[in-house]
Amino acid sequence: MKSLKTLGQFIIEKQADFPYAKGELSRLLRDIGIAAKIVNREINKAGLIDDILGRTGDTNVFGESQKKLDVYADEQFIAALKSGGECCFVASEEQEEGIELVDSGISKNAKYIVCIDPLDGSSNIEVNVSVGTIFSIYRRKSAVGEQLTQEDVLQCGLDQVAAGYIIYGSSTMLVYTTGKGVNGFTLDPSIGEFCLSHPNMKIPETGQIYSINEGNYLKFPQGIKNYIKYCQEVDPESKRPYTSRYIGSMVADIHRNLLLGGVFIYPQTALQPNGKLRLMYECNPLAFIIEQAGGKASTGTERILEIIPEELHQRVPAIIGNTEMVDKVLEFIANSKTISYV
């Protein structure tokens, strides 16, 4: 039996690779891992506990109905970041405004900004389908002790110092990058530790899976419609038709395509011309991970990581996956003579 390396051991070993090797980022990643274990415990008990499933009756900043586990996960990650003392500001999908932690005791000298989607795909919880957590970490630009500024909070994806996701499925995995490659850790419930299971993850150079909600086909731009038809054509040389796989949890779709090769597409539509996915805590962290794994991430017109955010909950279209498939989607978009949705 091979020896296991825990997330904590791995982080300590790689600490010298961090641009600021003083241990703060290591501790911050540890805090996120601890909160993930707590959330995983509750997810695995869903259905056994009467008050953990269902809606709260409230809505989040986007007018979307909040599930009880959305709120629970949000509370756990914010509590972990607050008590850990390394985070000075947290932006969550479930909070209309970001939360400053600089005045909360031990966080007064914190240097990091965290953007997080506490429970991605929560509508899948009640049908026992994979969900996840997505997080992005930035280093504040202002000096410790100064007032946080918009420049601290609204940084482009290229400024991320770390990003990751946790997928709660048949097993629970934490996948993260600090800009030095991508590594995956599987939670061993017998010891309560994330253990290195997928070192140096690389997305396959080619793929045969496209992930898109085809139920919205009539609302898509023409270039996306043309790409879908291309995927469905029979062509043995390019191994088409491709396989359509869509879970409805961005983390789960991206994770599968990272392992098997594929492209995830969530385009703008007639009803959502700016796209639906959030830049700061969905697209930026997953784009960072996929690029570090050798893939590509675009809105259809620009690289996701180069976007200068204008607001905390900004939305963008997303085309994320192995480079060959993303480039083919971009080719169809560029060759489309119209942006018509009909």
* Sequential DSSP letters for 106-123: GGGG--EEEEEEEEETGG
Query: What is the distance between the alpha carbons of residues 234 and 148, in angstroms, rounded to a whole number?
Result: 55
Query: What is the distance between the alpha carbons of residues 198 and 295, in angstroms, rounded to a whole number?
Result: 17
pLDDT-based confidence at 66, cuts 50/70/90?
low
pLDDT-based confidence at 47, cuts 50/70/90?
low
* CATH fold label, 7-198: Fructose-1,6-Bisphosphatase; Chain A, domain 1 (3.30.540)
Question: 297-326 in b/e burial notation, b at 16+ Cβ within 10 A?
Answer: bbbbeeebbebebeebbbbbbbbbbbbebb
Query: What is the distance between the alpha carbons of residues 215 and 220, in angstroms, rounded to a whole number?
Result: 10
pLDDT greater than 90 at residue 255: yes
pLDDT-based confidence at 51, cuts 50/70/90?
low
Residue 136 tokens, joined: 């992005």
What CATH code is assigned to 209-335? 3.40.190.80
**Beta strands 277-278 and 209-211, pairing class:** unpaired
pLDDT greater than 50 at residue 108: yes
pTM over 0.85: yes
pLDDT greater than 80 at residue 130: yes
At residue 50, the pLDDT reads: 47
In sequence order, what DSSP letters do the residues of 150-168 get, joined into one string? HHHHS--GGGEEEEEEEEE
Torsion over CA: 242, 243, 247, 249 (sign)? negative
Is 97 strand, coil or helix?
A: coil
94, 68 contact by CB (below 8 A): no
The mean pLDDT of 155-163, rounded to a whole number, is: 96
In sequence order, what DSSP letters do the residues of 257-283 get, joined into one string? HHHH--EEEE---SS-TT-SEEIIIII
pLDDT-based confidence at 59, cuts 50/70/90?
low
Strand-pairing partners, residue 182, are 177
Query: Within 13 Å, how many C-alpha atoms sit on residue 89's CB side?
Result: 23
Angle (nearest 5°) at CA 141 between 138 and 147: 110
pLDDT greater than 60 at residue 7: yes
Query: What is the distance between the alpha carbons of residues 317 and 274, in angstroms, rounded to a whole number?
Result: 6
Is 253 strand, coil or helix?
A: helix
At residue 36, the pLDDT reads: 94
- Could you tell me where in the chain the CATH 3.30.540.10 domains are found? 7-198
308, 156 contact by CB (below 8 A): yes
pLDDT greater than 80 at residue 33: yes
Lowest-confidence range among 38-42, 174-178, 309-313, 336-340? 336-340
- Could you tell me where in the chain the CATH 3.40.190.80 domains are found? 209-335
